[in-house]
């Protein structure tokens, strides 16, 4: 008698890294020839668990070296308390749990959240990676999403019509340390929207349709010049991680050679211990050169591959591209083309990054940054500052945002001439840059307006440097006005709220005589006049309308 498993087939759809254009993993999709086994799996956790096991076995038969994505309903995890059979199947297939991502999908309604979180904790302890699937089109509660702390969040492409929501999800993912993937991408327009909204991964018919054999060739539209700008500290390597070719540390040289000759796209092999920690790195060209030399095969074929490997270069998953370049620079020139292993907090290999990917990304980010610099002062514009504000809000950091400008600047230009006005602006910019403490950001947002993002303790010396200087233009004395809002964690949700609190403080500072400085705190309806005619003793609070009420 035939069972439903006899008529079940599986298809593979690649998950694409939008930064590198490479395949980051394969999602295994059940394709029953008869009946609706997925509906049965939704109702029966045992069936769903067996589907996951069969998916792993199907991938093993295809000899896919790429990381795998396996779909499991949230209710299945909550009911079974994890998937012990899946762990065994992964090991039997010769794969590591950290090469497998569990795509936890809806429905989440009526699923016991405590049991689900315990199951997720168990799977993560075994080494599996966790993805929250169907977000945006499903019913996953936001609180549950944050409690799950997934490694990956998958959004439905329909949400691309609401780019603000996608950008907000990217911000949340950054806070959780997760990557953002958009599913069901069918057009180049959707791909561009996913990139501009901050998605790092995507999958869908545009790149490759699900197929019985893992796709080798995928189509990735070229990146547009206005792709998402990267922070000055450099893009995170999370966006550039490629799948690693892994073999156990006990592998022979012949096994490594077989892998490399059968997979020409693999640039190197990492030999890992039983826990997945890289022990040696085998570079493709150097290894094959040794094996192809005179007596090379006879000398090395049956010997452990570790004899032909080098100490692995590793970086943590939270590193930036610049930090990876530092790691590469430490070694000899002969290893500049070696892959760098990316490891998690337990030292387990999550993938590799290639130097070429990072150099290209950093070059693009520098070109984009240069294009956004103000031509007069060579300072970044408001986008760079507000982007950093949002990152600090996400990180839960207290920060101070200041707005500085020249009093009566139009009169300065009209009286002293635009050349004198330009030189004044350049001088103010130089003083601001010199006075900015470590970690501070200075931006020129146009005309005579500057933004400064700094730590609160760095405000006093910065204010003194710009307000106490004897400014002049064409022999005419000039004063500056400074407004600052201090934003502790939870006081604002994004840079727009911070700017809304700052605007009335600037208006107050401009109304004072002479060089002025007004300080306020987001969430508090008051301010202090620290410089300027009519300045009050430190700590005195004057009433001021909250944003949107005046």
What's the confidence (pLDDT) of residue 412? Answer: 80
What is the structure's pLDDT at 230? 44
Are the C-beta atoms of 419 and 427 separated by less than 8 Å?
no
The whole-number pLDDT of residue 542 equals 41
Burial of 297: CB neighbours in 10 Å, binned 0-12, 13-18, 19+: middle
Give the pLDDT score at 226: 45
Q: pLDDT at position 48, please?
A: 94
**Partners of residue 450 on adjacent β-strands:** 404, 444
Give yes or no for a contact between 93 and 269, defined as CB atoms under 8 angstroms apart.
no
Burial class of 229 by CB neighbour count within 10 A (0 to 12, 13 to 18, 19+): middle
Per-residue pLDDT of the chain (550 residues; tens, 9 = 90+): 456 666 788 999 999 998 888 889 999 998 887 667 888 888 999 999 999 999 999 988 876 678 999 999 999 999 988 788 898 999 898 888 989 999 999 999 899 999 999 999 999 999 999 999 999 888 999 999 999 999 999 999 989 988 888 888 988 998 888 999 999 999 888 898 898 888 999 999 999 989 888 766 788 787 654 444 444 456 778 888 889 999 999 998 888 888 888 888 888 999 999 888 999 999 988 888 877 766 555 566 678 888 888 888 888 888 887 778 777 766 666 677 788 999 988 888 999 988 888 777 766 665 555 555 667 777 888 887 888 898 888 778 899 999 999 998 888 878 888 888 888 988 998 888 888 876 788 888 888 899 999 988 888 888 888 898 888 888 888 999 999 999 998 899 889 999 999 999 999 999 998 899 999 999 888 899 998 875 544 444 443 444 544 4
Pairing of strands 8-17, 201-202: antiparallel
* Cα 132 to Cα 98: distance, rounded to the nearest angstrom: 16
Cα–Cα distance, 24 to 36 (Å, whole number): 29
* Tally of CB atoms within 10 A around 500: 15
pLDDT value, residue 438: 66
pLDDT of 534: 57
What does the H/E/C string look like for 361-425? HHHHHHHHHHHCECCCCCCECHHHHHHHHHHHHHHCCCEEEEEEEECCHHHHHHHHCHHHHHHHH
Cα–Cα distance between 158 and 127 in angstroms, integer? 32
User: 67 near 151, Cβ under 8 Å?
Assistant: no
Give the three-state DSSP class for 299.
helix
| Per-residue pLDDT at 223 | 63
Global pTM reads 0.58
């Amino acid at each position: 008698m035939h069972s439903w498993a006899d008529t079940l087939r599986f298809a593979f759809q690649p998950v694409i890294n939008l930064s590198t254009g490479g395949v980051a993993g394969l999602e295994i999709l059940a394709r029953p020839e008869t009946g609706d086994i997925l509906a049965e799996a939704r109702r029966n956790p045992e069936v769903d668990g067996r589907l996951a096991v069969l998916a792993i076995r199907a991938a093993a038969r295809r000899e896919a070296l790429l990381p795998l994505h396996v779909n499991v309903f949230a209710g299945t995890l909550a009911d079974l308390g994890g998937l012990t059979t899946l762990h065994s199947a992964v090991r039997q297939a010769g794969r590591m749990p950290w090469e497998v991502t569990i795509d936890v999908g809806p429905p989440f309604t009526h699923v016991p959240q405590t049991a689900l979180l315990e199951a997720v904790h168990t799977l993560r302890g075994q080494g599996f990676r966790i993805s929250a699937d169907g977000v945006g089109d499903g019913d996953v509660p936001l609180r549950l999403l944050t409690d799950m702390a997934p490694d990956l969040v998958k959004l439905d492409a329909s949400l691309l019509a609401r780019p603000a929501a996608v950008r907000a999800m990217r911000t949340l993912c950054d806070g959780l340390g997760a990557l953002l993937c958009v599913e069901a991408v069918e057009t180049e327009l959707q791909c561009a929207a996913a990139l501009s909204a901050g998605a790092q991964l995507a999958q869908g018919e545009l790149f490759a349709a699900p197929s019985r054999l893992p796709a080798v060739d995928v189509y990735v539209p070229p990146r547009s010049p206005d792709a998402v700008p990267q922070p000055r500290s450099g893009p995170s390597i999370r966006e550039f991680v490629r799948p690693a070719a892994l073999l156990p540390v006990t592998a022979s040289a012949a096994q490594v050679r077989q892998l490399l000759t059968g997979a020409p796209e693999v640039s190197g092999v990492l030999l890992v211990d039983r826990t997945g920690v890289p022990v040696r790195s085998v570079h493709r060209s150097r290894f094959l050169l040794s094996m192809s030399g005179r007596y090379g095969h006879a000398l090395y074929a049956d010997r452990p591959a570790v004899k032909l490997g080098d100490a692995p270069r590793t970086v943590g998953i939270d590193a930036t591209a610049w930090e990876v370049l530092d790691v590469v620079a430490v070694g000899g020139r002969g290893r500049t083309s070696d892959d760098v292993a990316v490891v998690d907090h337990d030292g387990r290999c999550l993938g590799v990054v290639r130097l070429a990917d990072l150099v290209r990304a950093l070059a693009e980010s520098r070109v984009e940054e240069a294009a956004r610099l103000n031509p007069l002062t060579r300072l970044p514009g408001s986008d760079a500052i507000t982007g950093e504000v949002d990152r600090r809000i996400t990180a839960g950091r207290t920060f101070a945002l200041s707005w500085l400008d020249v009093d009566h600047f139009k009169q300065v230009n009209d009286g002293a001439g635009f050349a004198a006005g330009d030189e004044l602006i350049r001088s103010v910019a130089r003083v601001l840059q010199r006075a900015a403490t470590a970690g501070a950001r200075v931006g020129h947002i146009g005309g005579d307006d500057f933004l400064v993002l700094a730590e609160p303790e760095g405000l006093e010396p910065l204010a003194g440097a710009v307000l106490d200087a004897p400014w002049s233009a064409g022999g005419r004395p000039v004063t500056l006005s400074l407004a600052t809002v201090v934003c502790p964690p939870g006081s604002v949700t994004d840079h727009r709220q911070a700017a809304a609190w700052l605007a009335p403080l600037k208006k107050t500072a401009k109304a004072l005589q002479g060089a002025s400085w007004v300080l306020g705190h987001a969430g508090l309806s008051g301010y202090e006049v620290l410089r300027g005619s009519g300045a009050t003793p430190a700590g005195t609070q004057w009433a001021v309308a909250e944003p949107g009420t005046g």
